[in-house]
Structure 1
Amino acid sequence: MRKLSYLIVRYRKFILIVTAILCVLSVVGIMQLKINYSLQDYLPQDVPSSQAIEKLDDEFDMTLPNAQVLVPVQSVQDALQVKTDLSRSDGVISVLWLDDSIDMTVPLELADQDTVEGFYKDGMALYQLAVDTDDAQGKLEQIYTVREGVRVSGNLVDLANAQFSSQNEMSKITLFIIPFVLIILLLSTHSWMEPVAFAIAIGVGVLFNMGTNFLLGEISFITQTIASVLQLAVSMDYAIFLLNQFNHHRKEGYKPEEAMALGIQKAVTAVASSAATTVFGFLALVFMRFRLGADLGIVMAKGIFFSFLSVVVFMPAFILSIYKLIDKTIHRSLMPNFSFLGRVVLKARWGLIILVLILFLPSFLGSRNNEFIYGNIGYPDEARISEDREFIDEQFGIKQQMSLLVPKGNIPNELDLEAKLKEIPEITSVISYVSTVDKAIPYEVIDDGQMSMLMSDHYTNFIITAEIPAEGDSSFDVVTRIREIAASEYGDEYYFNGLSVVMMDMKTTIEADEKIVNGLAILAIALTIMIAFRSLSLPLILVFTIELAIWINLSVPYFSNTAISYVGYLIISTVQLGATVDYAIFYTDTYLGHRQRLKRKAAILRSAGEVVQSLLPPALILTCTGIVLNIISSLSIVSELGAILARGAVLSFLMVIFVLPCFLYYFDYIIRKTTLGLQLVPDQVLWRRRKRNK
């Protein structure tokens, strides 16, 4: 590393030129990036609903309705004209209305009134549309122009809102976060220019990461919205540590070039260790079968790697170019002295341990018993789309459409299947070949165009409408009953899909991911800590400290009786561990450094003042990042992630500052015995007691 550090210093101008070129290329790469706005696309291909969607597309060249459109109409004929107009809108694949369920030559008064009122009542017609989701915003706007008073709800609206929010809010989020970051850094640095240097160094890493995302093909809108600001917040301490080393060696009398070379050598080991724990935490997400985890995990791990490279290679070259300007803008540190916290911890150590014992079990159980939402993107209550959804639900009820494909050719089985489906109270209509056509008419006589949605060469399609929400226990119960009925008639030779079906498969998949992802993250980070400290006990102590903060964080929704997104729950479980375990590592490293020269109490007193000043800026930056995401994002899943992230950063910081020192104090003897090559100053009170007990 010594030779490399001097090469970086020597060729700093070349590094700056190459970095500038790569930044331009990264901007070009950003413009090539495709964003995926559908969480459903991240389900594994082998789950039943994914297979059913593929089969429906292969056999019928159609998709299930993803939008409900309510239009005021004058008459049935007017409603039929609106249907024609909707079908001509760009991107509309199919339109289902009353005429697809009943014979319109029969007076409506003689038809089944539940079926009629599911599509037409009180001068309003409700249409079920299947719409292409490329440019969902544009497709939605076109639907709004079909007729005055159009209202739309459904998955299309969710996707359009996700597109609008992620495209328009990302820059707004960044613009809000940067001033907070600069203010926090100004309070903790000694020059007015240092925060700018930090922001540029990490900004280059962020730009490289964003500019290489197109190599992945596409990324999710969630990753696109949070990855950049999360990378900025998590890796800022790398830049702070390098500059502190540079300033330290300059104070010792070294020339700037020599001081930077020495600073790189000193910083690389510590920053690499810190980055490795964070990278392993994010890479654990790659092992989720729900591929959104891999999407975010790869982008974030790549981002941490680019931040590391930027700090180690670009930042030294940049600092050596502006260090004179930094020197001219020096000011006194505005950060207060926190050495008193060491005394607070020592005086309250028994109380803090008792508090941990009290919080441990309730927080663990609470974090494991939350009520979850599995797929709803959500949008603000005051938005037009929220008002439209509520109006449609009030007028026609909450409805979900599902498709059940069964092998074609067995009319008695189809009749039996339809009868059983109609026995489910929540099902309001079943559209199928046997319900639409006289059973005595042979397949060969039927007009292919008329039956194209209900029959293919190999399958019959049952289009089922049920009064259930997209997800929840009642919805999943209906899905389970339909699957049981289909299995009783056709074994495993059926395909069943719909939004509620997808949500149930998403629930099953994500819940199965939890133990694997959390277990791998904990194992990988614990192994990294074990190797770094050459200790068996420290990984347990440090990981437990952060895990306790995570349990408390994720138990808050349980005790406040608030449902949370399971995707956010799982991501935060890993992100908080990977992003904040560095706090515990830094505190422990500082404490052990002093402990080799001082007794336990003196080591804690000395560590507290040093550690808080170093950890407070990154903790505040991560907290502010979460708060800004929570306030600005109109996407409920992103806003919720922000709130949990902010709370998690605060809790992890408090646990490291107040609880970890207690663990280090009381487990001092065990740490010494289980850490290879660790030489500590004998603490007579502690060790004499151990010898006496022997």
Structure 2
Amino acid sequence: MKKFYMSLVNHRKTMVMIFTMVFVVCLLLGNLVKVNYDINDYLPESSPSTVSLELMQEEFDGGIPNARIMISDVTIPEALEYKEKLEAVDGVTAVTWLDDVVSIFVPLSTLDTDTLETYYKDNNALFTVTIEEDRRIEAVSSIRELIGEDNAMTGSAVSTAISTTETVLEINKISIFTVLFVLVVLVMTTNSWMEPLIVLIGLGLAIVINNGTNLIFGEISFVTNAAGSILQLAVSLDYSVFLLHRFEECRQENPDVKAAMTEALCKSTSSILSSGLTTVIGFLALVLMQFRLGPDLGLALAKGVAISLITVFVFMPSFILLTYKWLDKTRHKELLPKFDLFGKIVKKVTIPMVCIFVILIIPAYLASNANDYYYGSSNIFGSETQLGSDTAVIESVFGKSDTYVLMVPVGDTATETELSQELNSLPQVTSIISYVDLAGAEIPLEYLDENTLSQLISKNYSRMVLSVDVPYEGEDAFSLVEQVRDIAQKYYSDTYYLAGEGVSTYDLMETVTNDMVKVNLMAIAAVFIVLLLSLRSISLPIVLVLSIETAIWINLSIPYFMDTPIFYIAYLIISSIQLGATVDYAILMTDRYKENREMMNKKAAVIQTISDVTVSILTSGSVLTVVGLLLGYITTNQLLGQLGIFIGRGAILSLIIVLFVLPGLLYLFDPLIIRKRKIKQIQMGAD
């Protein structure tokens, strides 16, 4: 390694030029990366709802209804005029209303009440609209302009369109606040006014390269787009700072800056690599998820940390050597006090903290697995947003509703009729639009226009559109999906296909719950193995992993005690993120304790270790905390917001356990940790 590092420092200008060119290219490529805001697109390709959707797109021009539009205070003729205008909106492929189900030329009092009130109630008209995926933003904007602010719209297409436009602005705001906070933290924790800028330049370069190289994935999820860059910044920050501090230490012993940098790289490689590898592996555990949002986020984050490591070992040494004179010229006094007193205080409370820690392990674990969950995207926007308000207004008049689409082989109208009758007998089914239902209605089939028929009959399949008065997810919705599938199975065995927002959410629920145990166990096992190899101890990996896992369990148990439902996707992702991002603190604490233990007794080693590492741990931990809380409180997307709160709160809990509990665990397990190491100094006094 020494020869490699010597070669790097001797070609520092070349390295800086190469990274600068890569930076410019990736800055341009980053604009070409598409962002997907639809959670259901990340279901496994083999899931029943995904297969159904793909087949439906092959057989029929129109997709599944994905928006509900309510127009208030309108007559039947006025509602029909609105329907024509909605159908004319670019991107809208179908609009369904009362006139598609029954004749509106008869007195309304003669119509079935449930069917009538599904579409028209108290002079409010509710339209079910299908919007093309590629034109959601433009179509939703045009519909809002058409209906005005006094009317309401909701649905997955609306949610996705709003997420696409608003999240970008929110993330830009969060990024600005994050950079400013990082700048302040670095100014407080470094000894040169120039050092924060050097660190931020290296971090910015690594982040831009990672964003540009995301083009290899074709597109990334909105979760990756929102959290990827700021998480990369938070977890990679201490790599550059650690290298800079090592360089300063080596310069005090060796005035030759190139030799000092080579020595600093050799001394810091093991610590930075072990820290980086545990983070990368923690993120890579997400790749094991069947739910493809996990691999999307895991690969991007792991790649980002790997690029940050390459940047630290290749670009930063060259850049530091080119700017070290500025570092020298802008020296200032230390702005933070020494943490010697803090170390003594922690030593006094660390054993009681260990006792509390042990008491909390089992309750925290049990509570973290007993939460109530949201699985889909129906609750992403709260009541304080326009979409949340619109959704509440529509549900207050027409109740919660969803649309399922069932496809069965074409040709057997008798069986279709029996199927339709049994489905209509379900109390949650308010209406069915299908070939057999319309043929048996009062309107003769020949009066049906060609467009309507093309939406119900294809070459191979007959399609039934079911309006159901259940929400997109929850026990009632999931129970109905199972009932509809059981009924369809009875008549058509395995030749039917069912799709819809609630159906996709049901499949999503089954997919992500199956992922949980596998992802967590693999993340823990992988991190444990890396720690085992790097620390060469069996007891230490157990102590470190248990410490961080307990912080994760406490973090996830808080919603249970607050009786707050959580997004299962955030619940699943945070376990790997918190483990990968904060186990570094425990590694740093342990490494420094082992170093200090070679020269002093264990009590003194604990105090000195806390004094040595507190600034470094607080630097990284505070950034991760603020990044998470900014994401949590600025974004209107509640899934991202909850993930941000988990990240911020998880960082705080990990900090508390590493700073107040881990020293006590190291003290108690000292005989297992130090038993094979030679103590260089005779221990003075009792331990």
What TM-score does the superposition give when structure 1 sets the normalisation length? 0.95
**8 Å CA contact retained: 2:438, 2:445:** no
**How do 1:103-252 residues align onto structure 2 when only pairs under 5 Å count?**
103-148=103-148, 149-252=150-253
- Pairwise CA distance, 1:442: 12
- In the alignment, which residue of structure 1 is the partner of 2:42? 42
For 2:660, the equivalent position in structure 1 comes to 658
Q: Which residue of 1 aligns with 2:273?
A: 272
Structure 1 residues 465 and 534: alpha-carbon distance in aligned structure 2, compared to 1, 3 A threshold: same
Deviation at 1:74, TM superposition (A): 4.4
Aligned equivalent of 2:292: 291
What amino acid sits opposite 1:466 in the alignment? V
Report the AA paired with residue 71 of structure 2.
Answer: V
- Classify 1:397/1:668 alpha carbon distance in 2 versus 1 (closer, same or farther; 3 Å): same
Indicate the SS of the match to 2:133. coil
Residue number in structure 1 paired with 2:487: 485
Whole-Å Cα distance in 2 between the matches of residues 471 and 503 of structure 1? Answer: 6
Paired with 2:483 and 2:292, the residues of 1 have a C-alpha distance of 28
Shift of 1:687: 12
CA contact (8 A) 1:406 1:459 kept: yes
CA contact (8 A) 2:115 2:431 kept: yes
Instruction: Quote the residue 1:4 is aligned against.
Output: 4
Match for 1:228: what amino acid? S
In structure 2, what is the equivalent of residue 611 of structure 1? Answer: 613
1:452 match: secondary structure: helix
Deviations 1:422-454 (A, max 9, x none): 222222112222221039999999875442222
Residues 147 and 557 of structure 1: is their aligned pair in 2 closer, same or farther, counting only changes over 3 Å? closer
* Structure 2 gap ranges (5+): none
Shift of 1:263: 1.2
What SS does the aligned partner of 1:369 have?
coil
Deviations 1:76-122 (A, max 9, x none): 23322221221111000111111111123433222212211211233
Q: Distance in 2 between matches of 1:294 and 1:686?
A: 54
How far apart, CA to CA, are the structure 1 residues paired with 2:330 and 2:441? 88
**Partner deviation per Cα, 1:498-532 (whole Å, 9 max, x = no partner):** 11111111011001111111111111110000000
Q: Which amino acid counterpart does residue 378 of structure 1 have in structure 2? A: I
- Give the 3 Å change call, closer, same or farther, for CA 9–447 of structure 1 in structure 2: same
Aligned counterparts of 2:472 and 2:189: Cα–Cα separation in 1: 48
Q: After TM superposition, give the deviation of residue 146 of structure 1 in Å.
A: 2.7
**Superimposed CA distance per residue, residues 14-66 of structure 1 (whole angstroms, 9 cap, x where no aligned partner):** 12222221111011101111111101000001111111111211222321110
Q: 1:683 to 1:569 in 2, by over 3 A?
A: farther
Is the 8 Å Cα contact of residues 62 and 93 (structure 1) preserved in structure 2? yes
Cα distance in 2 between the residues matched to 1:439 and 1:89 = 30
| C-alpha distance in 2 between matches for 1:546 and 1:686 | 33
1:679 aligns to what?
Answer: 678
Distance 1:333 1:135 in 2: 55
How far the C-alpha of 1:191 sits from its partner, in A, is 0.9
Tell me, in whole angstroms, the C-alpha distance in 2 between the residues paired with 1:142 and 1:651.
46
Contact kept? 1:599, 1:681, Cα under 8 Å: no
Alpha-carbon distance in structure 2 between the residues aligned to 1:678 and 1:504: 55
Specify whether residues 443 and 81 from structure 1 end up closer, same or farther in structure 2 by C-alpha distance, changes over 3 A only.
closer
Task: Check conservation: 2:409, 2:496, Cα contact below 8 A.
Answer: yes
Which one of the candidate residues 580, 589, 612 is aligned to 1:578? Answer: 580
TM-superposed CA distance for 1:124, in Å, is 2.4
Q: List aligned pairs for 1:359-398, cutoff 5 A.
A: 359-376=360-377, 378-398=380-400
Taking the aligned partners of 2:473 and 2:684, their CA distance within structure 1 comes to: 60
1:43 and 1:290 in contact (8 A); partners too: yes
Which position in structure 1 is the counterpart of 2:68?
Answer: 68
Q: What is the CA distance between 1:135 and its match in structure 2?
A: 4.4
Rounded Cα–Cα distance in structure 2 between residues aligned with 1:288 and 1:678:
41
Deviation at 1:407, TM superposition (A): 2.2
Cα offset, 1:340, TM superposition: 2.9
SS of equivalent to 2:134? coil
SS of the residue corresponding to residue 456 of structure 2 reads coil
Count of residues in Structure 1 that have an aligned counterpart in Structure 2 = 685
Root mean square deviation of aligned Cα: 2.3
Instruction: Give the match for residue 322 of structure 2.
Output: 321
Structure 1 residues 134-188: Cα deviation after superposition (integer angstroms, max 9, x where no partner): 2422211111233444421111111012101222122211111111111111111
Per the alignment, do residues 439 and 155 of structure 1 end up closer, same or farther by CA in structure 2, a change over 3 Å counting?
Answer: closer
Query: What is the 5 A alignment of 1:337-376?
Result: 337-376=338-377
Name whichever of 300-309 and 374-383 sits farther off. Answer: 374-383
Give, in angstroms, the shift of residue 667 of structure 1.
Answer: 1.6
Q: Is 2:457 the counterpart of 1:458?
A: no
Deviation at 1:421, TM superposition (A): 1.7
How far does residue 291 in structure 1 lie from its aligned partner after superposition? Answer: 0.4
Tell me the amino acid that sits aligned with residue 104 of structure 1. Answer: I
Distance 1:592 1:478, change over 3 A: same
Tell me the residue number matched to 1:94: 94
Give 1:462 shift. Answer: 1.7
Match of 2:504 in 1: 502
Alignment partners' CA distance in 2, 1:439 and 1:93: 25
SS in 1 for 2:93: strand
Tell me which amino acid in the other structure corresponds to 2:173: K
What CA distance in whole angstroms lies between the structure 1 residues aligned with 2:683 and 2:608? 19
Partner of 1:24: 24
Deviations for 1:324-368, whole angstroms, at most 9, x for unmatched residues?
Answer: 111121112122222234333433344222212221111000101
Which of 663-672 and 516-525 deviates more? 663-672
Q: Could you give the per-residue CA deviations for residues 531-568 of structure 1, whole angstroms, max 9, x where no partner exists?
A: 00111111111100100110001100001111111111
Further displaced range: 558-567 or 95-104: 95-104
Find the counterpart in structure 2 of residue 691 from structure 1: none
**Structure 1 segment 547-566 matched on structure 2, within 5 A:** 547-566=549-568
Contact 2:103/2:443, CA 8 A, preserved across alignment? no
8 Å CA contact 2:598–2:681 kept in 1: the answer is no
SS in 1 for 2:453: coil
Q: Is the 8 A contact 1:600 1:683 kept in 2?
A: no
SS in 2 for 1:63: coil
1:385, distance to aligned residue in structure 2 (A): 2.1
Residues 431 and 463 in structure 1, CA contact (< 8 A), matched pair in contact too: yes
Distance across 2 between alignment mates of 1:458 and 1:515 = 41
| Letter of the 1:628 counterpart | L
Q: CA deviation at 1:198?
A: 0.9
Mapped contact 2:601–2:684 kept (Cα < 8 A):
no
| Matches of 2:395 and 2:685, distance apart in 1 | 68
Q: Once the 2 structures are TM-superposed, how far is the Cα of residue 681 of structure 1 from its aligned partner?
A: 6.7
Contact 1:2 1:261 (8 Å CA) reproduced? yes
Per-residue deviation at 1:420? 2.0
In the TM superposition, residue 73 of structure 1 has moved relative to its aligned partner by: 6.2
State the 1:250 CA deviation: 1.1
Contact 2:281 2:527 in 1 (8 A): yes
Q: Percent identity?
A: 39
Q: CA deviation at 1:615?
A: 0.9
> Residues of 2 paired with 1:291 and 1:641: CA distance?
17
Name whichever of 604-613 and 127-136 sits farther off.
127-136
Is contact 1:669-1:687 (8 Å) kept?
no
Contact 2:103/2:442 (<8 A) preserved? no
The CA deviation string for residues 475-509 of structure 1, in whole angstroms up to 9 with x for no partner, is: 11111111122222222221111111111110110
CA contact (8 A) 2:287 2:296 kept: yes
Q: Distance in 2 between the 1:11 and 1:684 partners?
A: 47
Q: TM-score, normalised by structure 2?
A: 0.96
Report whether the alignment pairs 1:411 with 2:413.
Answer: yes
Contact 1:133 1:159 in 2 (8 A): no
Q: Which moved more, 1:372-381 or 1:157-166?
A: 372-381
